[in-house]
Amino acid sequence: MQINSDARLYAALVDGAEQLSLPLSSGRLSYVHLVRGSLQVNGQSLSAGDAVQLSQEPELQLSQGVDAEVLVFDLAA
């Protein structure tokens, strides 16, 4: 599959005390989709199927995962 855009895709499994962070570049958008489980994204609680869009954030922080499978899209604005 080809994406005709300036985009990066990350996938992660987060559970228990694991914490992940990803620096976000200025002028880009981040879209986080939680495939399964539950997770905190920059302090906001998500459940399976939830998504959040972030802009003008210096960093993405994923924490407090419970059997969480997450996709992160880093997109040109």
**pLDDT at residue 42 in the model:** 96
Q: Under DSSP, is residue 16 helix (H, G, I), strand (E, B) or coil?
A: coil
DSSP strand E in 2-57: where?
Answer: 7-14, 20-23, 28-41, 44-47, 51-55
Give me the residue spans of the domains in the chain.
Answer: 7-76
* pLDDT band (50, 70, 90) for residue 5: confident
pLDDT tens column, 9-68: 999 999 999 999 999 988 899 999 999 999 999 999 999 999 999 998 999 999 999 999
**pLDDT at residue 6 in the model:** 87
pTM: 0.89
CATH number for the domain running over 7-76: 2.60.120.10
